[in-house]
Amino acid sequence: MKQFIGETNITNSIIGRVEKSNPESKLYYIYKNKCEYNKDTTYFLYDNSKDKINKNKNYFKLIGSSLQIKNHDIVLIQTSGNGTLLYENGKDDNTLIVTHNCNNECIMCSQPPRHEEDNYLSMNLKIVNLIKNQPNYLCISGGEPTIKWSDFIKLVELVNIKLPLTNVFILSNARVFSEYNKAQMLAKLAKDKVKIAVPLFSDTDDIHDYIAGIEGAFWETVNGLLNLHRVGISIEIRVIIMKQNVNRLSNLIYFIYHNFPFIEHIALMGLEITGNAKKNLNDIWIDPKVATSSIRNAILNANRRNMPISLYNFPLCTIPKYLWKYARKSISEWKRVFLPNCNECKVKKLCCGIFNTNIGVLQKNINPIL
């Protein structure tokens, strides 16, 4: 999440929504709860160094950040002056984290699970309550969001009530849904607005479990997928491509087609080299050039079977031109960079860019398309 720092006189950390005092003014308020001015619960936000600060009132002044905080964004401000942009108004890729814990230990995880008790429920509920304009999509993720089941359900429930027009995109390994009643509970709450994206690494348990770091993970995910379908929740499968599974991508497509023909979309994804992926890079890294023929055949096999398929996180210059039409601009703006020579590239506008964490490894593969 985007971070910023500033100067503040607050004595308790706050979560609030940024609001212009009036349409012409450059002065922003931060509303904590009710969206009306109240001298105790309203904070002044200054984002311009020339602004004159009224230090008699609660204030926060941004320093040295290029980050732009926009009207209706939701922020967390701590007494130390550290700020976090929790929710960006008008965007469809905002994510609420239920927990940083996970029941998998994936060898390529970009945000490895933290094994410590955390509690984001009240923050998440506050965020949902503060959202001004209902987004098209809101993502619920983790860690594994479903392992804190009651927090997860309370959050979905509130989104359902407060944001009836918003679709919920859940990133989950689906193992928890191997319990049918949990799938059923989610469906009862919000079947029509929920879509779930599930990582499935291989068509056999040995490879999947090795990647997921847990023995038995594969079959729980399989059962979870079946249960989610039984209750009518729509599912996308995400396949992160690495050395361990690259040679069986076509087999995986076949496996999905025959066992989960209800899958709505398959995303073949490139690694984000941070966290465990960075730690295990030598074990998992596959050069895009080497992976090309496997990816091509997997896409061909999906095409034949009318299965929608996309490529995420592959800069266009790292894959052959005939795969470009499957590549999506999948990398969030705040994680995405382009190299200086990308400015010469003809297809930069269509390109997902490069994870800022991947530059070191990918640099030699990046060549502008002229």
Partner 1 sequence: MKLNSQYKLLPFRFFRMDKKILLVNEVGEYYFIDEIPFKKLIKHQPLNNLDLLRDLKSRFFIADSNLHEYIELLAIKYRTKKSFLYDFTSLHIIVLTLRCNHKCDYCHVASISSYDRQFDMDIATAKNCVNTILNSPSNSIKIEFQGGEPLLNFETLKYIVEYTNEKNTQINKNIEYVISTNLTTLTPYQFDYIKKNNILISTSLDGPENIHNHHRKLINGKNSYQIVKEKLQWLIDEGYGSNISALMTTTSDSLTNIKKIVDEYIKLKLRNIFIRDMNYFGRAKINYENLKYSIFSFVKAYKEAFNYILELNKSGIYFREVYASILLKKILTPYSTGFVDLQSPSGAGISVAVYNYNGDVFVSDEARMLYPKGSNLFKLGNVNIDDFQTIFNSKKLKYIVSRTTISALPKCAFCVFMPYCGIDPIRNYDKYGTIDGSRISDRNCYKNRELFKFLFNFIGNNDEDIINIFWSWLSNKAISEIMITN
Instruction: Tell me which residues touch partner 1 (CB under 8 A).
Output: 203-207, 209-210, 215, 219, 222-223, 226, 247-248, 251, 254-255, 257-259, 261, 296, 299-300, 303-306, 320, 322-323
Whole-number Å distance between alpha carbons of 288 and 315: 10
Amino acid of residue 347:
V
Residue number with CB closer to partner 1 (156 or 307) = 307
Shortest Cβ distance from residue 254 to partner 1 (Å)?
A: 7
Shortest Cβ distance from residue 261 to partner 1 (Å)?
A: 6
Enumerate residues 6+ apart whose C-beta is below 8 A from 135.
90, 91, 92, 94, 163, 166
- List the structure tokens of 102: 């996970």
Residue 200, Cα to own-chain centre: how many angstroms?
17
Other CB atoms within 10 A of residue 216 CB: 12
Residue number with CB closer to partner 1 (90 or 320) = 320
9 near 80, Cβ under 8 Å? no
Enumerate residues 6+ apart whose C-beta is below 8 A from 202.
208, 211, 218, 244, 245, 248, 252
Shortest Cβ distance from residue 91 to partner 1 (Å)?
A: 33
DSSP structural state of residue 53: P
* Radius of gyration in angstroms for the set of CA atoms belonging to the chain, rounded to a whole number: 22
Shortest Cβ distance from residue 259 to partner 1 (Å)?
A: 6
Shortest Cβ distance from residue 179 to partner 1 (Å)?
A: 15
Q: Burial code of 237-249, b = ≥16 C-beta within 10 A, e = fewer?
A: bbbbbbbbbbebb
Shortest Cβ distance from residue 279 to partner 1 (Å)?
A: 20
314 near 325, Cβ under 8 Å? no
Paired residues of 20 in beta bridges: 28
Shortest Cβ distance from residue 305 to partner 1 (Å)?
A: 7
